Structure 1
Amino acid sequence: MDSITQALLGAALQGSLLGRIQGRRALAYGAALATVPDLDVFVHYADPVSQMTFHRGFSHSLFMLTGLAVVITAVVMALARWRWPDHGYRWPRLLLTFWLVLVTHPLLDAFTVYGTQLLWPLQVTPQSWAGVFIVDPVYSVPLLLTVLYAAVVGLGQRARRLLTVALVFGALYLGFGVGARLLTEQRFAAALDAQGIAHERVRAVPMAFNTFIWRVLATTPDGHYYEGVSSLFDHAPPEMQRQPLHLEAAQPLAGVALHERLRWFTDDWLRYDVIGDALVVSDLRMGTPSDYNFRFVMARRDAQGQWQAVQPSRWRGSHAGGLVDRQMLALMWRRIFSQTPPLPLAAWQALSVEGDAAR
């Protein structure tokens, strides 16, 4: 999730577990320690596909972070014995605190759709549980309020109890998000079955800032996919549209290492578009309907009209603007509670096609 929420989670954890000993400093220490896994953003990679697929890698590994927790605990205990003989620290509690502050960062990230390599260096598909949007005020605001309260009044028993309540609420909310995703996928699959539409995989992703309305994808055996929108409050089948994956366009990328890595990282939720002389590969999982955040130019036609794989670059039409477009957000929020009128998926798709053609 976003860095502020990660810092708040670390502050709440360390404040609730070590606040009695460290006082308000526990909040600052926990917030700082919780940001450590994201220091990989300062590693520079040669291309955006590598930047995307190596992020949330080694620094988010449960193995690496467990080892780091042991090292930090040993250092703190050694310093405490030297400088503060009456520190009150105990190995088990200190180790548990540091471990939780560190590993809950990648675990929280894994509840988003991006993909988190919890088991690095094992080359398993990154975890992408898609239970919450990358920014969700329902999860973040309780942490913010309780951390601010503890910072003002101190880490007394009441403040530590409130921090614990916020943490438990957050855990329950994450569970609710995963349950809502599974229910949404089941509903979408049932809607496809009712129309006699064969499908292979179904994937639901929360739309901006909530867990009540979901964008849903379903692939078909004939190389197409259905993209739709479904709310937990729906009583009728969701609106959806059929679009091509253009899998045949991927042939120039056969055997290309970065393309294979992108397929692995996204669990192969990819679409291919020939736009002018560029082959654009889109990650279908993130963005709004027909406006995907991660799009990469991975091949180009040469002077003889032959496709050649190139070092990936961001397609100049890829952006995150759809996440904050006020008009689109207003339509989405209204759609949570009412299916009439449906979201204009076809119109959004047409705008996306027109935008690509103009670039």
Structure 2
Amino acid sequence: MDSLTQFTLGAAVSALCLGKKLGPRKSALLGGILGTVPDLDVFLPFDNPVDAFVLHRGWTHSFFIHALATPVVGEILVRSIGALRESRARVWLTVFLCFTTHAIIDAMTVYGTRIFWPFDPDPVGVGSIFIIDPLYTVPLLIVVIWAFFSANWTSRFQSWLVAALIFSTSYMGLSIALQAHVENRAETIFADAGIDARNVFAIAGPFNTIVWKVIGQEDDRYHNLYISLFDEDDEQARVYTHPTRSDLTACLEGNDAFEKLRWFSRGYFGTALQGGKVVISDLRMGLTPSYVFRFAVAEYAAGNVRSIPPQAIEGQLTSLSDDLNWLADRFVGQPSVRAAEASGGEPYGTTETASCVERQTSG
């Protein structure tokens, strides 16, 4: 999740564990720092933008690495902070919790987090909560701000701290139940529309768990569906359909960047032509055609495809006001057509059929 959320969660956890020893202010500051440590992997060098994308939230987010790092970091704290010298077990537990809770809430987003690396290299990405969700973060932020203005531990502060952690954790758990509910509704909507969708995946909408984006896949196309918890019924649900461009993906077998993107996205990727390039988009992050992570992995010319070193491509701009109005309507359960997807077909670029002259070079 976002850095503010990671800081506040670590601060709240540390304040609960060490607040009586260090005081609310010092314990919250210490936990906030520990809670951001796993994201230091953003400073690691990567060979290309695809590696930077798929390898983020890697080994620094692994429970196994956290377990190895905890005694080292914990012992440094015990020996350098006098008030903690008689609380080694509690300090080690605090360090481990600050590290692992960071990874856990990251795994609840759709991006994916390798919490079981190296035993399982695949990222866990539940997708039941958006990377920024005020309803999760604000209760924690309130008690952390309170902690920074409190020199002494009080039972009143402790009660509010526990309540904030319980509320945020319960909300996170509720999001999983809401996701399952939305996926069940989506399967019914797809079936009623005569769509034999597989791999139906509901993803929390921006900043909320009221509006959900659902992806359903078929062999030659994928479908986007937007469901609000406040919809009165699903009869007016609008399904937006786009081609998968299998003619393009067939030319990319053996392309290293494409294989990594296909693996990391768990198959939820889109392929299109833009500016003479074959562009791969992670369908889980962003709205068609404004996907957050898009990469050119091949060149296209005269019906032929050649692999190239991967390049990051900016998402196609859509009307912000149109999308905001559409999202506001869907938030309250009002039927609304998303103009950027209403035409269907290829989201961007040409629809000319491609053929392969080279299946893989660099990239």
Q: TM-score, normalised by structure 2?
A: 0.89
Contact 2:232 2:333 in 1 (8 A): no
| Equivalent residues of 2:78, 2:84 under 8 A apart | no
Partner of 1:73: 74
Equivalences, count? 348
Q: In the TM superposition, what is the alpha-carbon distance from 1:340 to its structure 2 partner?
A: 2.9
What percentage of residue pairs aligned between the two structures are identical? 32
Asked if 2 retains the 8 angstrom alpha-carbon contact of 1:252 and 1:299, the reply is: no
1:214 aligns to 2:209 (yes or no): no
Unmatched 5+ stretches in structure 2? 352-363
Compared with structure 1, are the counterparts of its residues 208 and 351 closer, same or farther at alpha carbon in structure 2 (3 Å cutoff)? farther
Residue in 1 that maps onto 2:173:
175
1:9 alignment partner in structure 2: 9
Cα deviation for residue 350 of structure 1 reads 8.3
1:339 aligns with 2:339: no
CA separation of 1:164 and 1:326: change in aligned 2, threshold 3 A: farther
Relative to structure 1, the CA distance from residue 139 to residue 310 in structure 2 (aligned partners, 3 Å threshold; closer, same or farther) is: same
**Partner in structure 2 of residue 165 of structure 1:** 163
What amino acid sits opposite 1:51 in the alignment? A
Question: How far 1:74 sits from its partner (Å)?
Answer: 2.4
How far 1:288 sits from its partner (Å)?
Answer: 1.8
1:149-205 superposed Cα distances (whole Å, 9 cap, x missing partner): 122133322212211211111110111111111111110001111223211110111
Q: Is the partner of 2:225 in helix, strand or coil?
A: strand
The letter of the residue matching 1:162 is W
8 Å CA contact 2:326–2:336 kept in 1: the answer is no
Distance 2:350 2:4 in 1: 33
| Separation in structure 2 between the aligned mates of residue 344 and residue 301 of structure 1, nearest angstrom | 28
- Asked if the contact 1:230–1:239 (Cα under 8 Å) also holds between the matched residues in 2, the reply is no
Give me the whole-angstrom Cα distance separating, in 2, the residues matched to 1:187 and 1:346: 21
Q: Quote the residue 1:223 is aligned against.
A: 220
Q: Which amino acid aligns with 1:182?
A: A
- Counterpart of 2:126 in structure 1 is 129
Q: CA deviation at 1:353?
A: 2.8
1:308 paired residue number: 306
- Which residue identity lines up with residue 64 of structure 1 in the other structure? I
Q: 1:270·1:281 contact (CA, 8 Å) conserved in 2?
A: yes
In structure 1, the residue corresponding to 2:149 is in which secondary structure?
A: helix
| Partner-residue secondary structure (3-state), 1:202 | strand
The 1:147–1:260 alpha-carbon spacing in structure 2 relative to 1, beyond 3 Å, is same
State the SS of the aligned residue for 1:272.
strand
Could you say which residue in structure 2 is the equivalent of 1:30?
31
Question: 1:53 & 1:224 partners in 2: Cα distance?
Answer: 24
Larger helix percent: 1
User: What does residue 277 of structure 2 align with?
Assistant: 278
In the alignment, the residues of structure 1 paired with residue 263 and residue 211 of structure 2 have an alpha-carbon distance, to the nearest angstrom, of 27
CA RMSD of aligned residues (A): 2.4
Are 1:262 and 2:261 counterparts? yes
Q: Establish whether residue 293 from structure 1 lines up as the match of residue 292 from structure 2.
A: yes
For residues 37-58 of structure 1, the C-alpha deviation after alignment (integer angstroms, 9 at most, x for no partner) is: 0001111223211110010001
Q: Provide closer, same or farther for how the CA distance between residues 290 and 173 of structure 1 changes in structure 2, counting only shifts above 3 A.
A: same
Contact 2:274 2:350 in 1 (8 A): no
Deviation at 1:256, TM superposition (A): 2.0
